[in-house]
A and B are shown apart, each in its own frame.
Chain A
Amino acid sequence: MRRLILRRAVAFLATLFVVSLLVFTVVRVLPGDPALLIMGTEGSPEAAAALRRAMGLDRPIPVQYVEWLGGVLRGDLGRSIQYDVGVGRLILSRLAVTLPLTVLAAVFMTLAAVPLGVYAATRNGRAGDYVTMLLSQLGIAVPSFWAGLLLILLFAVRLGWVQAGGFDGWAAGLWSGLRALLLPAFALGVVQAAILTRTTRAAVLEVLRADYVRTGRAKGLSERTLTWKHVVRNALLTIVTILGLQLGQLLTGSIVLENVFYLPGLGRLALGAISARDLPVVQGVVLFVAATVVTLNFVVDILYAVLDPRIRYE
C-alpha cells in the first residue's frame, strides 16, 4: 500500500513538473518576445529592453525557468501588469467566487444525479429508466453556457425573480452572494449531472447483479433497505471517483459560466487579462487551474486505492 502511494506520488510530482514546463514554454519560449507582446506596437525599443531586463528575459532560458519555478513554489506567480499587484493575491481574491461556484455546482450535480441514477437502475428496462436516460442524453447535449442563458431568459428576463448576473461580493451578505451563484451553479451542475447519472446507474446496475443482493432479497429484505443499505453503499466508491474527476471539469466549466453571469472569478480574470495582454495573470491562472485539476485526479486515485481493499494496482 505504502509503495503504491509512493509510486503514485512520484508520478504526480513528475506530472506537475511537466505542467509547469508546458505553461512556461508556451509563454516564454514559443512566441519570441513576451516584452513586445505585452507592450504591443506602441512600446519604444528602449522601453521594451527595460521591460525585458526587469522580467529577467535577457538571461538563458533554463535559468529563467528555474527562477520562475522557484518563485511559483514560494507562492510568487509574478506581478500583474494591468493591476500592478501580485498574481497570487489576484487569484486568491477571485477564488472567493470560483470556489463557492464550483462547490455549489457539485452539490447540485450530486443531489440530482445520485437519486436519478439509482432510480433508473432499479427501474432497469422500464419506462422510468428510459425517461431518465433520455433526459441525461439531452443534458449531455446542452452546453452549460446555453443552459445559463436560458435560465437568465426565464428567471431574470421573463419572471424578474433574480438579476441577470453580477456579484456584489460576500461583504454584502451571505445570502446575497449565494443568490448570485445559484443560477450559474445550477446551469453548471445540471449539465454535469447528466454524466454522473449515467455512471451512477451503471455502478448500481453492476452491484445489483451481485450474489449477496440475491441473498438479501431471498431472506426477505425490503427493496428499499436492499437498495440504499447494500447496493448504493457498494456502488458509492465508483460514484465518488467519478464525482471527484468531475470536480476538475466543474472548475473549468465555471470559467465559462462566470462569463455568462458576469461573476468576477478566475475565468473573467483570465479573459480580461487576455484582452489587456496581461501575460503573467493568464499564465498564473492557467498554471493554478491545471495544477488543481492534476492534484484532484491524484487525490481521487489515492482515495480509490485506500477505500477499496480490492484495488492494489500491480
Chain B
Amino acid sequence: MSRRWRRALRHPAFVVGLVLTAAILGTAVCSLVYTPRDPLLMEFAARLEPPTAAHPMGTDQYGRDLLSRVMRGAIASLAVGGVAVGIGMGVGVILGAAGGWLGGWLDEAAMRVTDAVYGFPAVLSALLASAVFGPGVLISMVAVGIAYVPVFARLTRASVLSLRAQEFVTAALALGARDRMILWRHVLPNTVSPLIVQATISFPLAILAEAALSYLGLGTQPPNPSWGLMLREAQNFLQLSPWYAIFPGAAIALAVLGFNLLGDGLRDVLDPRAG
C-alpha cells in the first residue's frame, strides 16, 4: 500500500465515505438474494404501519415492507448511476479525443454539440424523451448519461491537447505510428486518472438525478422500488405516515454523502496536484 493510500485511510472523512459506500453496495448485493420480506408483496391488512419489530421502517400504502423496498431500491440507484456515468464517459471520451486530436472543424463541431448538450440538464432531456418515448428507467439512464457528456468531453479534450504537444507523442509520430495507435497506447492511458476523478464526482450526482427523475415519475416505474419513486408515493401520505417520506430520503442522502466523501479521498490519492 502506497503512502498516499495510507494517508487517505487516516482521513476520517474518507473512512466514513468508505464505510457508507460499502454499506450501500453491500445492501444492494444482499437485496438480490435476501430481503426481510418480498419487496413487492402487498399485505393489505398492514397498510401504512409505523415502524415495528416486524417492519422496522413501517409499510407503504399497499402494506409492502419499506425496509425491503429501501434495500432493493439501492439497486436502481446504483445501476442508473453506473450506466449513466458509463454513457457520459464513453460518449464524452470519444467526442473529446476526436476533437482534441484532429482539431479543425471537427473539434469546433464537437465543442458546439457539447455546449448545446450542456444546456440540457438531466431533467430537461428526460422530459423531452419521456414525452416522445414514454417514461421509463432506460430513459432516465440515457438522460442522465447525456447530461454528463460535456464534462467528460471537455476533460478528455484538454488532456489530449496537452498530451499531443508532449515529446513522447512527437516521437511516436516520428516513428511512424498510426493516429489510432498513438491515441490508444500513449494518449488515452494518460487521461485515465482525471477521468476516474470526474467519475467519482459524477456518480453521486447521477444518484441524485435518478432520484429526482423517479420522483417526477420519469424514471423507475411502479411496482419496482426506487428511492425517488417511494418519495413520490410517500408525499400522498405525509399526514398519515411521515416515516414513509423519511427513510427513502435518508437512504439517498447517505448514499450520496458516502460516495462524495469516498470521491474526495480518491481524488487526493489519484490526483498528485491536489492535497
Contact = CB atoms under 8 A, between A and B. Distances in A.
To the question of whether A and B form a pair in one complex, the answer is: yes
Interface stretch (A49-57, A101-109, A167-175, A282-290): A282-290
Majority DSSP secondary structure for residues of A touching B: helix
A194 to B, nearest CB: 11
B97 interface: no
A237 B253 CA distance: 31
B135 interface: yes
B32 interface: no
A302 to B, nearest CB: 14
Given A141-B253, A150-B249, A157-B238, A274 B130 contact: yes
B217 interface: yes
Contacts, number: 143
B26 interface: no
A15 B112 contact: yes
Interface string B118-145: 1111011001111111010000000000
A16 B113 CA distance: 10
A36 to B, nearest CB: 12
Given A141-B252, A255-B127, 7 more contacts: A22-B117, A138-B253, A142-B253, A153-B246, A252-B121, A273-B131, A274-B131
B204 interface: yes
Contacts of A283: 128, 131
A140 interface: yes
28 contacts: A14-B115, A16-B116, A22-B116, A22-B120, A26-B132, A37-B132, A137-B257, A137-B261, A140-B256, A141-B253, A150-B246, A153-B246, A157-B238, A249-B121, A252-B123, A256-B212, A259-B216, A260-B235, A274-B127, A279-B131, A282-B128, A283-B128, A283-B131, A290-B120, A290-B124, A293-B119, A293-B120, A297-B118
Contact of B253 (A18, A27, A146): A146
A39 B129 CA distance: 18
Interface pairs A-B: 4 shortest CB-CB: A18-B116, A146-B249, A141-B257, A282-B131
A146 B252 contact: yes
Contacts of A226: none
B121 A293 contact: yes
Given A30-B132, A157-B238, A294 B119 contact: yes
Contact of B245 (A22, A23, A150, A290): A150
Nearest to B211: A143
Contact of A141 (B133, B234, B242, B254): B254
Interface string A128-151: 000000000110111111100110
Given A143-B208, A164-B238, A294 B133 contact: no
Nearest to B120: A290
Nearest to B204: A141
A42 to B, nearest CB: 16
A182 interface: no
B65 to A, nearest CB: 21
A138 B16 CA distance: 13
Interface residues of B, number: 45
Interface centre among B119, B135, B252, B254 (most CB of A within 10 A): B119
Interface of B: 13, 112-113, 115-121, 123-124, 127-133, 135, 204, 208, 211-212, 215-218, 228, 231, 234-235, 238-239, 242, 245-246, 249, 252-254, 256-257, 260-261
Contact of B256 (A21, A141, A290): A141
Interface string A273-309: 1100101001101100111011001000000000000
Nearest to A18: B116
B206 to A, nearest CB: 12
Interface string A4-30: 000000010011101101110011001
B24 to A, nearest CB: 12
Given A11-B112, A11-B115, A252-B123, A27 B128 contact: yes
